[in-house]
A and B are shown apart, each in its own frame.
Chain A
Amino acid sequence: MEDYKKHSVLSYLKLIFSLDKRLIGVLFINVISSLTWNLLPIGILAYMTKIYQKNPTKEGFQMVFWIILANTIYHLIYAVIIHLIDYEMDSRVSRRIEYKLSTLLYSKLDEVDYEVYQSNDFLNHYEKALDDGASYMFGTYWSFTEIIEELVQILSVGTIFALISPWIILYVFVVGILTAVIFRITTKISWLVSEKNAQHFRERGYIKRLFFLKDASIDLKSTTLSDLYLDMNSEIGDKIIGNIRHDFSKRAILNVLGGIATESIIAVALSLIAFTTMKNNNIVILASLVAAASTLADIVTGLTSSIARFKENVIRRFDVYRVLDQPCVLEKEGTINTLPDFKEITFDHVHFSYQANEEKTLNDISFRIEQGQKIAIVGENGAGKTTLVRLFLKLIEPTEGAIFYNQIPYKDIQVKTIRKTYATVFQNYQIYSFSVAENILLKKLETKDEEIKVIEALKKVGLWEKISHLEKGINTICTKEFDKDGVEFSGGERQKLVIARVFVSSAPILILDEPNSALDPLAEKHIFDEIFSYAIDKTLIFISHRFSTTIHADKIYLFEQGSILEQGTHHELMLKNGEYKRMFMTQAEKYQEEAE
């Protein structure tokens, strides 16, 4: 928790108020409203009994009547104002906070280095901040308002009492200190328990997700897996209950003591009021004093629970700050934002390891890729191929060595600028709930020209047949998530759709990371032919553990355990009779047999 000391409650409140300026006005009006609600009746009561005491006749009643009428009119006006604000508050401001916060968080994501994602923690915090951050902010704001309201009220009621019976104020003060002490202890207990249970909640969350995870459903149905997790879930539940039983009994007793202290205020106040009135024989203010005492007791009780709620909400600010504080290095590095035409990419003795002291993922990699070349990068799983893609895109930075675009070091170029020079199909490609055209362009479809491009691309990957038969054509929404007329794609079709992105891109370098894993052989061959003829002037980097891409490549790099083991054209490498040939033959063997 120490790291987060720098984010005081005050700066958090500032952040909340900065998300929507109207909150200040709403706070102000709420304070006035609470005074109206709780203090006005006491004043009126005192005033009316005073009139009665002095003048218990028709005349006196007339005066009382005007007071009642004025009070009613005031309340009617007040009701209108409060309604307008309350509703603004309830239904719109909270949503606005939510919207503003998510915009803030989304922009933050742009700045966070890719490496940070690799730690599960960051995304967990991010999810929390995004899911609950706004409601905790709103809760903080709301309980803060209540505290202010209650403090203002205590001050005003307190002043009245201080004039008449200062002992009551003293008693309230003592109770206040006592409850504050109790409160400190109980929040500590609550915090400890929630820390203890956080792990169990995480486990429970995973199990719940599992039970509605599509890909797990078949295992759950057809193996004994479900019993394993049902047992586990019950055990986790027992642990949570155990922690609560152990620690909460102490908390509850303390809270009961605190409650008795605050609620005794009314009894003490009543006794003192009765005593002073009887001594001074002054019945006039009796009624209003009693009413004030009961209001005071209510407000003090209210204050303790508002503070509790405030604490509960405000402690969660760290979820948001953990995200906002995430330092960004790589994403902000470099100043160059325009690049000359692409000529070459150079890797100069590049080393990379994901964590210090860990085995290197890439070890002393040097190569040069020139404009127009077709490159195949092959190797076993874990050879470092995907890490290489990340380096190309400046998602990560070499631990040693350097990368150059033409002669410009990567270090000096802004990430956005570098990434624009690539069109990439990732191994874990995704389809979004946008239209088909938007999924290919990854922007809104705006011009006729773009439309033609999209159709052209669809034809090349062999999806045009399917799309053209849809009622809305390329404007059909992908997936049925938001549109029941949406189009669903099979695994192979999804991959084709993603490959279509390459055909509309103007980037000079294309990277395809395992682009063919879900394609049937005929589609695979067809699409490869299309890519090769499309990319005739472009630079093409194929990454694969299949060797079907390698024969036509200008240069092949065979990776093994983070190093380049062999390089050259297919022909050269076959002649070399090394690892490449061995691997190629394992895969080709069955096909070769037939050819012979």
Chain B
Amino acid sequence: MPEDNNSVVIENLVKQFGDFVAVDHISLDIRKGEVFGFLGPNGAGKSTTIRMLCGLLTPTSGRARVAGYDVGREPESVRQNIGYMSQKFSLYNDLKVIENIRLFAGLYSVPSNQLQARIEWALEMANLKGQENLITGTLPGGWKQRLALGCAVLHKPPVIFLDEPTSGVDPISRRQFWDLIQHMAEEGVTVFVTTHYMEEAEYCNRLALIFRGKIVALGTPSELKRDSMKGELLLIECEPLGNAVEVLQSAPDVIDAAVFGNALHLVVRDAAAAIPQVKKYLSDHSITVGHIEKIRPSLEDVFVSLTTERDSGKERKA
């Protein structure tokens, strides 16, 4: 019995491996038809969370309901109502495209009167029409990912979990893949996706930033960019870049400094006040300043700012 509007409800979910707390009291509500992004560095607990939600790992404590079923107590019902793509490509490389599709159609018990239509649909969606008899292992990365997605949704699950679905895939294929995700969401499918590509995070309706097992920020991409930065952001073009970062990190009123492309991003409390000070500080250290301006933070800035903040907080405590 699916619950009202929330497809995924997570309450105080904890997963501990020995002394290591991989997921630390996470709570989330994810609405039907939402593309929910789960962002975080490697080892932050993204995969562990997804695996618990798919019933592959038993939570240490807390609970989660997926498509109306409790992951701890009704894992089989959960599995019939989800599609899952694991981080590593995990279809059978030695099977043909069509054999992989047939296998998963069987595993999800797709009724025989719908089977042909679903197979056609999956081939169409994955853009693999006419390639049915290729051995899966010989496909390029992007095709494999689309096939994996096709296999995971053969049974039209209301919720799908994608664990870094586009890692190692070229940018064009990545774009096509996200079009597919958007398309499914429009049809009411709830998509829970992890990624560490910041530009992909922009495609999500809402994002949760996870760091060291804890959710450090939650909101739409624009909310995060607007509210989550502690301070304002300056873009500085200067020469030499490496020295500038070092110098600025110990400058007064600078919260953080990082290289972004061929420029610097500087987090300060008050941009207007900081610009003249920074200019002076840099020339005092014989660094040539080109251009300097206040900019709107990108998700990457938010992410870096939030994680470094936590990092230094942790260090101070220790």
- Indicate, yes or no, whether A interacts with B: no
B interface residues, Cβ below 8 angstroms from A: none
A interface residues, Cβ below 8 angstroms from B: none
